[in-house]
Chains A and B, each alone.
Chain A
Amino acid sequence: MSAVATGPAAGLPRWAVLALLPGLNLLAAFAVSGLVVVLIGENPWQVVRILVWGAFGFEEAIGYTLFYATNFIFTGLAVAVAFHCGLFNIGGEGQAYVGGLGVALVCLHLDFLPFALIVPAAVAGAALFGAAWAFVPAWLQARRGSHIVITTIMFNFIAASVMVYLLVNVMARPGSMEPETRGFAPHAYLPPMHEALGAVGIEIAASPLNLSFPWALLCAAGVWLFLWHTRAGYRLRAAGASPAAALYGGISPPRQVLVAMLVSGALAGFMSLNELMGVQHRLVLEFTAGYGFAGIAVALMGRGHPAGVVLASVLFGALYQGGAELAFEVPRITRDMVVVIQGLVILFAGALEFMFVPALRAALLRRVGG
């Protein structure tokens, strides 16, 4: 690995590109968020204090922070895998939603299975349905050249319509007007971490954090192994870095598009495990609640690396949990403040990624004497 970065940030030392630049971008996003708080007429320092306390200040809060982070890890990894193949998967929201359908079908119709079988079946269901929803845009991109950004956006809306139809007309609990299915059988619940760890003698505070969290960490490790330590991962990244060179090396770029999107869709689908089997215990409308879109922010913040995605997920999980406490303590600031911060992070860490490069170059390279 070279010590100097290439691309738009060419010439800067590696540590500056990997740590300083994202740090500055995040700082800029937070600074503008602080301005919004001032505009509302509240004290930004007070807000930061409540946010940090609400996210990490007590044991239960940490559980909630990691619970939200679990959703972000899955959707963030989904976006990251597609990124490495040069694809922009905006469809995480729809893929997670349809993945939830797979989970619900397993939990509702295969509930004669014992816990040890129903969980892997649900994991498979989430992966299968999430991947299937990603397959159509992927195939259209690979074989018919339709722009995947547009098709995945369209598929988010189609997924929303399909799920409303199914939940209202087909899967709704008999005799109920609520657009939700009947509850899952108790042995189809994912045990919360405080119970799982309690069973081996470790006491932690009760929270919705459940077994999906270790599964998310496993997936992050799996994505890292897959992308950088398998041939399939190499092919995928080669096709993303340079389709022409990949083709010359005997790799079929359209095929890699399919592989990347199937993996991406499956990862997004896993998000529904955490929400449905961990907390809701039934299929409900719009349980994805924007996590799919937030995954884009997470992947950008984590610079597409699984370790970065996990770190960024904890950051966003903290914002969600801290934001909930904030809305409770300061009623004038609603939880939508987190959405504002999210948007600003995407803007500064994503679209304006290299805004500080000229300034950094001037500051760093002059001192080195370059």
Chain B
Amino acid sequence: MAVPVLDSTLRLSVPLILAALAGLFSERSGIIDIGLEGKMLGAAFAAAATAALTGSPWAGLAAGVGVSVLLAMVHGYACITHRGNQVVSGLALNILASGLTAVLGVAWFAQGGRTPQLPGEARFLLLEWPGAAALRDMPGLGAVYGELLSGHNLLVYLAFLAVPAVGWVLYRTRFGLRLRAAGENPHSVDAAGVPVPGLRYRALVCTGVLCGVAGTYLSLAQSAGFINDMTAGKGYIALAALIFGKWRPVPAMLACLLFGLLDAVAIRLQGTDIPGVGEVPVQLVQALPYILTVVLLAGFIGRAVPPRALGVPYVKER
């Protein structure tokens, strides 16, 4: 029981982790990003459509990342160049993405908004680790190796490798230091001779790339094609996880794993009685990530302090 639940936890939390890391770049640089959902959805559609036409998952990944970066740049153009409201811009992109993917999907593929079912070679397939099949039936470590660690697709491993990578970029490189400074006190960055807009644009490129991978994962790895509104709020859950992880890579990943676990448990809880408790409403488990985030934001369990300059357009002093 435990290993399959953890196994699906891993798979369900991958898009959350990638999207939360994406949001990390944007928000630590001072740009609110509630548009993670839209970027993922746009990327999922572009990836599936491209993979369906070319038959190559790599072309799909490139298209997904491309569309996501493009949307991130529109966000940047509105928020950085024109100092527009960051929440409004993110919301606009979410609505735009949900409308465009539906309209273009029906017009191009005429399958009620779906993209064509992808054959195996156009997707990211599961990678079997050496000896996994032999060890799978062995209890304990064998099952952990055979089922939990082995047998995922490339993007799953990529997501978990991205966590230390993002941590390294953020805390150990010059770019990361400047990025964090831009989110806390952009004037200090400016005083050091680094233009804040350029820095924030670069942060948004990182956001776009990671959201693109997250969206691609949904349509090319987890499913075999694009389905209407297939992100289904995952972008918002990732945002919640980012806040829950207090805008730090490893805690954000742990929050994503927790929310992924809740999702995995919710699927299994459907219609089962827990001794002494009775039937737990699935909806309660599904709403828990949001409830927990609100409770955290309210300061009842620890305190989530956002980057100080988050949401404030930067105006250079003259």
**Interface flag for A140 (CB, 8 Å):** yes
27 contacts between A and B (CB under 8 A): A40-B104, A136-B294, A140-B294, A144-B297, A144-B298, A146-B294, A146-B297, A150-B297, A154-B290, A154-B291, A157-B287, A158-B290, A169-B281, A297-B95, A332-B106, A333-B107, A339-B99, A339-B103, A340-B96, A342-B99, A344-B92, A350-B88, A351-B84, A351-B85, A351-B88, A351-B92, A352-B89
- Chain B 92-131 per-residue mask, 1 if CB under 8 angstroms from chain A, else 0: 1111111110111011101001000000000000000000
> Which of A333, A339, A351 sits near B78, CB closer than 8 Å?
A351
Given the known interface contacts A90-B91, A146-B298, the answer about A40 and B287 at a Cβ–Cβ threshold of 8 Å is no
Cα distance, A300 to B85, chains bound together (Å):
11
Beta-carbon contact of A334 and B103 below 8 Å: yes
A-B contacts counted at CB < 8 A amount to 150
Does B55 count as interface, using CB distance less than 8 angstroms? no
In the assembled complex, B34 has its CB within 8 A of some CB on chain A: yes
CB within 8 Å of B: which of A332-370? 332-334, 336-344, 346-347, 350-355
Interface segment out of the listed B2-10, B149-157, B172-180, B235-243? B235-243
* A177 at interface by CB-CB < 8 Å: no
Is B206 interfacial (CB-CB < 8 Å)? no
Given A40-B104, A346-B91, A350-B85, A340 and B99 contact (CB-CB distance below 8 Å): yes
- Known A-B contacts A162-B283, A336-B102, A339-B102; the reply to A293 vs B243 at CB < 8 A is no
- Are the CB atoms of B281 and A165 closer together than 8 Å? yes
Residues of A near B98 (CB, < 8 A) are 336, 339, 343
* Most interface-central of B84, B85, B233, B306 (chain A CB within 10 A): B84
CB–CB B240/A154 < 8 A: yes
- Chain B interface, number of residues (Cβ within 8 angstroms): 50
| Contact flag A36-B294 (CB < 8 Å), given A162-B283, A350-B84 | no
Q: How far is the CA of A144 from the CA of B305 in the complex (A)?
A: 12
Please report whether the interface of chain B is mostly helix, strand, loop or mixed according to DSSP: helix
Cβ contacts A243-268/B at 8 Å (1 or 0 each): 00000000000000000000000000
Known: A157-B236, A162-B283. A355 touches B82 (CB 8 A): yes
Q: Is the CB of B92 within 8 A of A350?
A: yes
CA separation between A310 and B267, bound complex, in Å? Answer: 44
CA separation between A36 and B97, bound complex, in Å?
Answer: 12
Contact A347 B294 (CB under 8 A): no
Q: A39 — which chain B residues lie within 8 A by C-beta?
A: 104
Query: What CA separation (Å) do A353 and B99 show in the bound complex?
Result: 21
Known A-B contacts A140-B294, A162-B283; A344 and B103 likewise in contact (beta carbons under 8 Å): no
**In the assembly, what is the distance between CA of A158 and CA of B297, in Å?**
15
B293→A150 contact, CB < 8 A: yes
Contact A157 B233 (CB under 8 A): yes
A296, closest chain B residue (CB): B91
Q: Which of B77, B86, B96, B110 has the most CB of A within 10 A?
A: B96
Beyond A157-B236, A158-B294, A162-B287, 11 additional pairs, beta carbon < 8 A: A136-B294, A158-B287, A158-B291, A161-B286, A164-B283, A169-B281, A300-B88, A336-B103, A341-B99, A347-B74, A352-B77
Q: How far, in angstroms, from A149 to B35 measured CA to CA in the complex?
A: 13
What's the Cα separation between A157 and B108 when bound, in Å? 31
Query: Cβ of A41: which chain B residues have Cβ within 8 Å of it?
Result: 107
Task: Give bound CA distance, A27 to B86, whole Å.
Answer: 22
8 Å CB contact of B293 from A88, A154, A169, A334: A154
CA A136 to CA B297, docked complex, whole Å: 12
Does A49 make an interface contact (CB < 8 A)? no
Q: A157-B290, A334-B106, A351-B79 are in contact. Are A165 and B100 (CB under 8 A)?
A: no
